Structure 1
Amino acid sequence: MSLPAMGYILSLTYLWIKAAHIIFVIFWIAGLFLLPRYYIYHQESTPGSQEERRWIEREAKLRKIILTPAMILVWILGVTLATVGHFWDSGWLMAKLALVIGLSAYHGYMVGYGKRLARGERPVSGKALRLMNEIPGIVTAAIVILVVLKPF
């Protein structure tokens, strides 16, 4: 299939791609809200206990079943939307992209932190985790403003 034909097909499915992008953004952000909360409960459990083992299992499932697949799909669908919509020269998209890169880095940090917790390390306090739990909400609000208002 030629590139112009592929572009035509993608433009016909633009709204479906956009809907899927929004759905997977919701899954990803919900997971990013939930994961630090799991870590807080995990840290408050007794090291080596059955409860701690259950938290480790829950965290791994959340990361593997929801968080990481959702993030990957958000990226694939978002790049597709930017390409089909010819938005690559938009200032708002570049700002959004910077924020999404930041959320992806946060995601990576949280995945790494969970692996450290599973090894018995607890380098961050519960209070710090509670503060980190606010990051996805603040960044998501900024992204929504950029996408809806397209201020530049």
Structure 2
Amino acid sequence: MALETSYLWIKAMHVVAVIAWFAGLFYIFRLFVYHVQQREQPAVVATLEVMEHRLMRVIMAPAMIVAVTMGAWMLVKQPALLRMPWMHMKLGAVFFLLGYHGFASYTRKRLARGDYFLSERACRAFNEVPTLLLIIIVIAVIVRP
């Protein structure tokens, strides 16, 4: 059975949004590393805060909304996907990805208030989380274990 054209357009928009979202997810905690490193340099911190805010608001949040909306729309159009174990694996990883995004937003707000509750090392460690989740998602979708 051939997939209908509208489904393929939805899927294409989903993939583009996921790529944009991950670009931000890969970068946000790297900015936080610099933010923590430069905490004694007000001009640098001010620049980083603008970059962090714009990354979250202009790239990450819209991309996340489009990715989740298009993903949900695909599931509405192809509900049989919800019976497949690989989809459960993918959706579980997406759930953690949404939590990571929320934690990044929380972290940005705290850093903007001058609350350096995470060390540089912790920010570096958190920077690896989206890579691990991406590996799980790609394996789930392509290999379908």
Are residue 95 (structure 1) and residue 70 (structure 2) matched? no
- Cα offset for 1:48? 6.4
Are residue 79 (structure 1) and residue 72 (structure 2) matched? yes
- 37, 50, 68: which is aligned to 1:57? 50
What RMSD, in angstroms, separates the aligned Cα atoms of the two structures? 1.4
Alignment partner, residue 144 of structure 2? 150
Q: How many pairs align?
A: 142
The code of the aligned residue for 1:66 comes to I
Alignment partner, residue 136 of structure 1? 130
TM-score by length of 1: 0.89
Alignment partner, residue 37 of structure 1? 30
Unaligned runs of 5+ in 2: none
- Contact preservation (8 Å) 1:11, 1:84: no
- Cα offset for 1:12? 3.0
TM-score by length of 2: 0.93
Are residue 110 (structure 1) and residue 104 (structure 2) matched? yes
Moved over 6 A (4+): none
Unaligned runs of 5+ in 1: 1-9
Larger-Rg structure: 1
